Structure 1
């Protein structure tokens, strides 16, 4: 009997990217091997200059990239793209490449790109644009931890992300975020559940603690990296969510619980390069011809698409995915199943 197709999941430094890669790898129903990669200072080189290369990997990570070559590689983030391209070349161009999110490279490098609206990728035959990031729907509420179940309802969960240019979650923004949640909890007579993430900065965490220290409503705080992580328990126990707008993944996970989600806006501080790209995007969006030219530059990897979280939130709002009920859970499950099926087809094609 022929061996079933094999896959590699290339893991980088971003936990959110890795979760999506692993979620897709698990959903495709094939044998896969996770390859956690570490990078040397050469990672700062533009992706187009690196092309297919292992030069930015540390020596121990290079040792992980060895035959037998997989039928399909699933990756995310700009650092993994040159590694994935090198694997395809080493395999005699047999290995298929799947990228999740924003590739930071020519779209033609990949057999499939699974993305969401915030990355602004142009329409291409190898691009799937989903409404939600790839995620398994949270377990059905029912196993609510007893200490959370004892809190008065409605329980509002505040999910804090972190700074992600141009969005800023500093101490002042974190304080306003918690104050907004406290105002809602005080008006409803319920409780507050506050969770931070790996990206929440130390200053923001201090501000959250200080603001909660003055709270007059029952509350719980779970700081990522300190003690047991109560994030999953908060997803089960919350009756509603308030999520900082930087985190599409947390907004999607919250929405898939079937409870209503509100997006909390953060201040914007674009740097000089972002202003240039945004200016080019605005200038080239004037006519259909210039819009096509800008899309072509993005597709070629000459211009990096700017993450526009407002575009993601807009899709979620327009399609009713933030309103509660089964819509987000059903949509997420359908999109994940469709992406997994597309990856399986690629893996099968690699063996023919």
Structure 2
């Protein structure tokens, strides 16, 4: 009998899609991407939507037709109703795998592969990895102009606003000043890259902060000229990364160089404040803790991201210190997650 097929349910986020594809490929099973697109119904809570195609556009709905896969792999809130509908259409045969935070009752899924910032409880169907699903990068030659820079070469990666973290003009200037100080103290140079989430104002402020630097600087602004982000990653002797993105932090750590995190200001909004208050109230007794955990597990209360928990996990395991530890850990975690998917599909691991 042929190996069962996997459907990789792609959404709007490139980072989620990369993790989905990485896991699907690692299983060694036949798989194909299925692009989902969503309408306004997708904004409703998943525990109200349930198994439905109502939140999909007409084109996305048309793509969901038999033969049904043995496994679907999705990520993000919006893919969940479609995944549930596929399982229902298959007569319950299709297994559901979700990456990250499910925004739904945990027992809806056969397997959840997540990381510490989502604060999910340990359960038989939940794998909590230290790093996002990824393959360690292959060694890449250092570009000649970057090799000529004085070492150590510090690669600075700037992110953007990520509730409740704020990367505004002031934060960009502070990052620029800290980067210049580190390069000056080390006698090295700077390679600075912004990301798609860096606002135009923050990028301008960062550029201005670096304009008068007394150390060699190479600057790559996303969307303006050649994107040298990958060149900078390959040439880095060390990293300074804003702490708003688990993916950026992990990508730096996988290069085997020391990674320092630049802490952004936390400005909680009303949703973050409400969740924090709820957690404080829940912590008052064992009974309230169990009640709050039950609400989270049911999907009625969605866990908020805690990037401090993610960073603390990396620091405690030494994955930010450089060397092969992060790459080895990523490979092991990917292999274990792939084996769990194969097991869910009913194949021998």
TM-score bucket (shorter structure): over 0.9
Match of 2:250 in 1: 252
RMSD of equivalent CA atoms: 1.5
Match of 1:107 in 2: 106
Distance of 1:279 and 1:339 partners within structure 2 = 34
Q: Once structures 1 and 2 are overlaid, which stretch shifts more, 106-115 or 208-217?
A: 208-217
Match of 2:97 in 1: 98
Structure 1 residues 226 and 65 mapped into 2: Cα distance closer, same or farther (>3 Å)?
A: farther
Distance of 1:276 and 1:262 partners within structure 2 = 31
How far did residue 98 of structure 1 move?
A: 0.5
Distance of 1:286 and 1:325 partners within structure 2 = 42
What is the aligned residue count? Answer: 348
- Structure 1 residues 67-146: aligned runs within 5 Å: 67-140=66-139, 142-146=140-144
For residues 140-161 of structure 1, the C-alpha deviation after alignment (integer angstroms, 9 at most, x for no partner) is 2x51111111111100011112
Aligned residue for 1:57, secondary structure, equals: coil
8 Å CA contact 1:8, 1:35 repeated in 2: yes
How far did residue 302 of structure 1 move?
A: 1.1
Aligned residue for 2:222, secondary structure, equals: coil
Distance of 1:346 and 1:228 partners within structure 2 = 43
* Alignment counterpart, residue 176 of structure 2, candidates 178, 187, 199: 178
Distance of 1:4 and 1:227 partners within structure 2 = 45
Q: Once structures 1 and 2 are overlaid, which stretch shifts more, 264-273 or 306-315?
A: 264-273
* Alignment counterpart, residue 150 of structure 2, candidates 134, 149, 152: 152
8 Å CA contact 1:246, 1:309 repeated in 2: yes
Aligned residue for 2:165, secondary structure, equals: coil
Match of 1:285 in 2: 283
Aligned residue for 1:139, secondary structure, equals: coil
8 Å CA contact 1:6, 1:347 repeated in 2: no
When normalised by structure 1's length, the TM-score is 0.95
Name segments (4+ residues, structure 1) moved above 4 Å: none
8 Å CA contact 1:5, 1:348 repeated in 2: no
Structure 1 residues 175 and 293 mapped into 2: Cα distance closer, same or farther (>3 Å)?
A: same
When normalised by structure 2's length, the TM-score is 0.96
* Alignment counterpart, residue 165 of structure 1, candidates 163, 169, 180: 163
How far did residue 216 of structure 1 move?
A: 2.3
Aligned residue for 2:266, secondary structure, equals: coil
Unaligned runs of 5+ in 2: none
How far did residue 8 of structure 1 move?
A: 0.9
For residues 93-149 of structure 1, the C-alpha deviation after alignment (integer angstroms, 9 at most, x for no partner) is 111111000011111111000011110111211000011111111222x51111111
Distance of 2:205 and 2:146 partners within structure 1 = 23
Distance of 2:145 and 2:345 partners within structure 1 = 46
- Structure 1 residues 1-352: aligned runs within 5 Å: 2-140=1-139, 142-348=140-346
How far did residue 289 of structure 1 move?
A: 3.2
Aligned residue for 1:204, secondary structure, equals: helix
Aligned residue for 1:348, secondary structure, equals: coil
For residues 29-51 of structure 1, the C-alpha deviation after alignment (integer angstroms, 9 at most, x for no partner) is 11111122221122211111111
Distance of 1:179 and 1:341 partners within structure 2 = 46
Aligned residue for 2:218, secondary structure, equals: strand
Q: Once structures 1 and 2 are overlaid, which stretch shifts more, 128-137 or 228-237?
A: 228-237
